[in-house]
Amino acid sequence: MNKVSRNEKDMKKYNVLIKKRRRRRIIRKTIFTSVLLVAVLCVLCLKLTYFNIKHVNVIGNKIVDSSSILELSNIKTGSNIFYLNTSKIEKSIATNNYIKSVKIKRKLPSIVDVYVKERRPVYYIKSGDGIVYLDNEAVVLERDSKLHSKDKYIQISNMNLEDANIGETVSSDKYVVQTLKEISDLSDRNTMNDQNIRITKVDISDKNNVKIYFSKMLVKVGYKRDMMNKLNKAIAIIDQRKLKNSKGYIDVSFQGNPVFHINK
What are 32-90's pLDDT values in tens digits? 777 767 766 666 556 678 889 999 999 999 999 999 999 999 999 999 998 899 999 99
Q: Where are the domains of the chain?
A: 2-47, 50-118, 123-262
Residue-level pLDDT at 190: 73
Residue-level pLDDT at 137: 92
Model confidence band, residue 247 (pLDDT cutoffs 50, 70, 90): very high
CATH class for the domain made up of 123-262: alpha beta
Share of the chain above pLDDT 70, in %: 87
Q: What is the pTM of this model?
A: 0.78
Residue-level pLDDT at 217: 95
219 backbone dihedrals φ, ψ, rounded to 5°: -110, 120
Tell which wins on pLDDT, 40 or 223.
223
What are 157-181's pLDDT values in tens digits? 998 776 678 899 888 889 999 999 9
Mean pLDDT of the chain: 86
Q: What is the CATH number of domain 50-118?
A: 3.10.20.310
Residue-level pLDDT at 48: 74
Residue-level pLDDT at 21: 73
Tell which wins on pLDDT, 35 or 245.
245
What are 11-35's pLDDT values in tens digits? 666 566 677 777 777 787 778 777 7
Q: Measured between alpha carbons, how far is 209 from 197 in angstroms, rounded to an integer?
A: 22
* H, E, C per residue of the chain: CHHHHHHHHHHHHHHHHHHHHHHHHHHHHHHHHHHHHHHHHHHHHHHCHHHECCEEEEECCCCCCHHHHHHHHCCCCCCEHHHCCHHHHHHHHCCCCCEEEEEEEEECCCEEEEEEEECCCCEEEEECCEEEEECCCCEEEEEECCCCCHHHCEEECCCCCCCCCCCCECCCCHHHHHHHHHHHHHHHHHHHCCCCCCCCEEECCCCCCEEEEECCEEEEEECCCCHHHHHHHHHHHHHHCCCCCCCEEEECCCCCCCEEEECC
* Same fold: 50-118 with 123-262: no
Counting other chains too, the contacts that 204-211 makes at CB distance below 8 Å and 24 or more residues apart are: 204/156, 204/159, 204/175, 204/176, 204/179, 204/180, 205/157, 205/158, 205/159, 207/175, 207/179, 210/179
